[in-house]
Structure 1
């Protein structure tokens, strides 16, 4: 896959495709803009059709009201003569085909007069139109119903007939046949696929174009379009699925009767029809764009093959010659442009390589010589490590063997002082004190040498250490009641190491601080800590006699001292032990100071999780 994309021709094709993307985006944007305009136009057209149908319905309702007023004034109706009234209404019905029936009803709901022949007693006291007309004493329309006389879907309206005293003597009734709504679709010239539907206030379909027989009478209050209409309850538009599941652009409007809205009429235009022009424009635009892109890529492929790739292949062929050592071959490309510049750079590079090439034998000899030097260096390092181990062992043995004669000298000197003091004059006692003092210093020196040697062989036990507790404990053990020493211990980060040997580091550094501040009336020892470069760094600062900075490198060597023995006691091994301990923990130790201005000793240790192996 990567090799395929790395092809120059393929990359050129991709560039062309990328260049076509803005045009494709503009085409799609234009199509979407056209689609929105068509949606708005389709909704407007559907709303126009719905309003036209609603206006026709309103004219029928008004016609029914005018007809009822006329019926209420007929002598045959007012006389309550059923037979004469029925004949008159039957003649009138022939002139009004939009009505399913004309009738008159007594106040108790019994029909006493009908244009259609009555079969038995018919009572309509339970009908909404009758109840409203009686209650309001005015024109009233009812809900969708199946007529008990006509047996057809209709919306009935009633109008009260008053006697001379102003009481209701009858209710004149007309039944508006809803078949006219089914015929309204062809009358309005609805395009193919467009639906016209009327529902009552409960979501029951009163009529539908097309396929009225399939849908009329069905109650579908949960259909998406029906729910949208019943929730809004006034004129509007939407895009949703119809009762048949087909997505359309809908416009709807209420049908008003005598007491307000009696039904809702909506017109639906299929989305496929509404967006046909936009979809066609998008398809044609993308097809034309694809043809242009294909043509451009074909031309680019040919140009790349005949010009660019020819020179590139020549450069590749020359590089293969160079790979086998033939540096006399040149590209021979003299064209301008980027390829020409690259070819001339290749030729110059070949000349430089030829001038500076070292023979393979000489290179191999140099490599072999370096390997031998590395091997000798490794052998030397191993020998040094062995000698260091032998020196540590020798120091340990010598120090251990010197303990016995020193103990004897010190013991016999003490016996002379304690048991034969009366036989010695002042000079003899002084000499014995000098002997005892030097033997004790020698014993301390041997102990320090043993400790230093032991630090080279000791196996550390690493654990997390609370350095604050360790430093505080070390100072408390060194505190001198007869001296004024201010010990300032700041927050110290924890470290990881062998607690016992790290305690020796604190002992050595703090004991030096106590010792070298002896000349000060008020000694100050400050201990601080911080995290730096993933290591914990600790500092011990004092206001003692300090030291000359030029001798800082000697401080951590064995037996190295910057002061005379009669000034400050010591063996010169303590700082060497501290240096070895810190080094084996993976840290470092260093010092800063000025003569008569104090000294600061720093050492670093790994924090938790960064422990050294102690080697």
Structure 2
């Protein structure tokens, strides 16, 4: 019985701990859900920030290129050596004022280079570049794809602006080459958690730039990444949770923007482990506190239950066994107080006292009855002896015999 009570106590304690642990686990999952949502929202905020940064660069380039064209008066079709020298000198100064650009230059209608801020090889042609073809067709500022510049020899994204003469005939393209490394430097100013990655993708899934370590990624394709496939399918702003190319789970947010008819995607990825780090640490800390409190509670309740419940119950059990064995003087050692179990012990002692009193009374009555029976047997034997006796001596002898044998009296 006592072991059973201890077992029940431990069972309910463990059950209570499990319930609390389950509640904590549910809370952790709920915190994970809220954290994932807020992290994606933060990543989306960063993606939008990058998007507006890029759009600002594009807008600045759209404003800058027509101003350069007007400054050089190239719309008049002047391509003399003096004009070319003046053009190159001005572009050199311009490139120094805008270090985010690798180069500025002017391309003739046939694709040959008219002038450039950087030296170029004679005979070099750029009529196959996307920004040249697109600017010629769109008649506005156009963006090319990622490229390794034939003049700069570095990774860049070029913009082109078409030039026209007084008759409205196509007269070439002025271009500006944005330094990919300058974009990386701009991304370092964003408030991103450690381990986060920001990627600019073309509509073909090509990496235009990436932070950090952009120099190792520029120009590589990411079309096989699940998140990139999702982006190219949806073609709109959104969030997702996917493993990256290394199998690390990340919370992604992405947003598109267009340059002319071309889509560029900003992708921000934050490691899930990093995003959940605070929640996991809080859960682990709470779990340790719970287990510590539970262990102390179990030890305390084990001692308290043993002293306050099991020990009194054990005293009641032993006393009841003694009573059952006929020891009516047995009593519990529970002192009277306000505790229910002590009151039970006192009631038990009172009951045992009543039983002992009745038993003693019974013994007394039995003794009286035995004395009465002995006297009656002696009287009966004496009557028979009196009837049978012929002489006084014989009667006296028979009476003594009856008193000893029938009554159990002792005659000295």
Which TM-score band applies after superposition, normalised by the shorter structure? 0.7 to 0.9
Mapping 1:175-254, distance limit 5 Å: 175-254=177-256
Question: 2:7 aligned to 10, 14, 17, which one?
Answer: 10
**1:209–1:244 distance in 2 versus 1, CA, 3 Å:** farther
1:34 pairs with 2:31: yes
2:151 alignment partner, SS class: coil
* Alpha-carbon distance in 2 for matches of 1:342, 1:226: 81
Match of 1:328 in 2: 326
1:19 pairs with 2:16: yes
Match of 2:141 in 1: 139
Deviations 1:284-334 (A, max 9, x none): 222222222122211221133224333554577689889xxx843577459
* Alpha-carbon distance in 2 for matches of 1:342, 1:247: 69
1:28 alignment partner, SS class: helix
2:93 alignment partner, SS class: helix
1:300 alignment partner, SS class: helix
1:120 alignment partner, SS class: coil
2:12 alignment partner, SS class: helix
* Alpha-carbon distance in 2 for matches of 1:110, 1:339: 111
| Maintained 8 Å contact 2:319/2:331 | no
1:289 pairs with 2:286: no
Offset of residue 168 of structure 1: 0.4
1:81 pairs with 2:83: no
Match of 1:407 in 2: none
| Maintained 8 Å contact 2:235/2:256 | yes
Mapping 1:432-471, distance limit 5 Å: none
* Alpha-carbon distance in 2 for matches of 1:341, 1:272: 63
| Maintained 8 Å contact 1:69/1:159 | yes
* Alpha-carbon distance in 2 for matches of 1:17, 1:183: 56
1:48 pairs with 2:45: yes
Match of 2:54 in 1: 57
Offset of residue 343 of structure 1: 7.9
Match of 2:112 in 1: 110
Deviations 1:219-274 (A, max 9, x none): 2211233223222222222222234432222222224323342x222222222332
Match of 1:408 in 2: none
| Maintained 8 Å contact 1:144/1:206 | yes
**1:128–1:99 distance in 2 versus 1, CA, 3 Å:** same
Matched residue count: 341
* Alpha-carbon distance in 1 for matches of 2:327, 2:109: 121
Mapping 1:309-320, distance limit 5 Å: 309-311=310-312, 313=314
Match of 2:397 in 1: none
* Alpha-carbon distance in 2 for matches of 1:339, 1:127: 100
Match of 1:416 in 2: none
1:277 alignment partner, SS class: helix
* Alpha-carbon distance in 2 for matches of 1:198, 1:260: 13
State the TM-score, normalized to the length of structure 1. 0.50
Question: 1:67 aligned to 64, 67, 72, which one?
Answer: 64
Match of 1:264 in 2: 265
Match of 1:301 in 2: 302
* Alpha-carbon distance in 2 for matches of 1:95, 1:287: 59
| Maintained 8 Å contact 2:145/2:157 | yes
Consecutive unaligned residues in structure 2, runs of 5 or more = 335-339, 357-412
| Maintained 8 Å contact 1:142/1:157 | yes
2:66 alignment partner, SS class: helix
| Maintained 8 Å contact 1:198/1:205 | yes
| Maintained 8 Å contact 1:144/1:153 | yes
* Alpha-carbon distance in 2 for matches of 1:282, 1:343: 51
Offset of residue 195 of structure 1: 2.1
Consecutive unaligned residues in structure 1, runs of 5 or more = 352-615
**1:88–1:299 distance in 2 versus 1, CA, 3 Å:** closer
2:187 alignment partner, SS class: helix
* Alpha-carbon distance in 2 for matches of 1:105, 1:88: 15
| Maintained 8 Å contact 1:13/1:300 | no
Greater relative CO (CA pairs within 8 A, separation 6+): 2
| Maintained 8 Å contact 2:164/2:170 | yes
Q: Which is higher, the Rg of structure 1 or of structure 2?
A: 1
